[in-house]
Amino acid sequence: MNPFDVIKQRMQVHGSVYKNVWECATKVYKVEGMRAFYISYPTTLTMTIPFQSVQFAAYESLSLVLNPSGTYDPITHITAGGIAGAFAAAVTTPLDVAKTLLQTRGEATDVRIRNCNGLSEAFKLIYQRHGLAGFAKGLQPRVLSHMPSTAICWGVYEYGKWFLSRRNSDNQPINLH
């Protein structure tokens, strides 16, 4: 998915000249090569693993507090999922800022950004230019986009578990049609 994320970021950046996905992908490849699509891959992994870890731990902890009995309760699952997603998004925003810098570096006119070659260089550059506040850029939209998506995800997951366990406890065959 990393190449698609790079294309998405390039098309979203202010002043983007790309008319469609194909045009963006071919121009980036011609000018910067295949490396442009994977320059942020280590940063993406470095961000995804803590995001998922924090999200799961927060969800489980919140679920225990909000619903100690562990019974199926859609409101609890959605609430715990949304809060867990928001928390994980907030904690990993600095990594997302660095990832975005790396993914859009080919569009930059600034030589230091264009030549940025990894997470540590991105962190140094962000800190030099914007201080600690630079690591929080985009925090609100990131939290606001992850909150409903993780709430829905956990709600659907818990419903699926409940539905399948209910059907199995009745010794009825599961018919998903």
State the average pLDDT for the chain: 92
Q: What residues make up the domain containing 19?
A: 1-38
Residue 145 lies in a domain: yes
* Rounded Cα distance, 151 and 133, in Å: 28
pTM for the model stands at 0.82
Residues 170, 150: Cα–Cα separation, whole Å: 30
Total number of domains constituting the chain: 2
Q: Per the structure block, which two tokens stand in for 123?
A: 């962190």
Same domain flag for 25 and 61:
no
22 and 107 both lie in a single domain: no
pLDDT in tens, 29-61: 999 999 999 999 999 999 999 999 999 999 999
- H or E stretch covering 21: helix 21-32
Report the alpha-carbon distance of residue 1 to residue 38 in Å, rounded.
Answer: 10
Residue 13 has pLDDT above 80, yes or no: yes
pLDDT in tens, 87-106: 999 999 999 999 999 999 98
Q: Read off the tokens for 115.
A: 């030549």
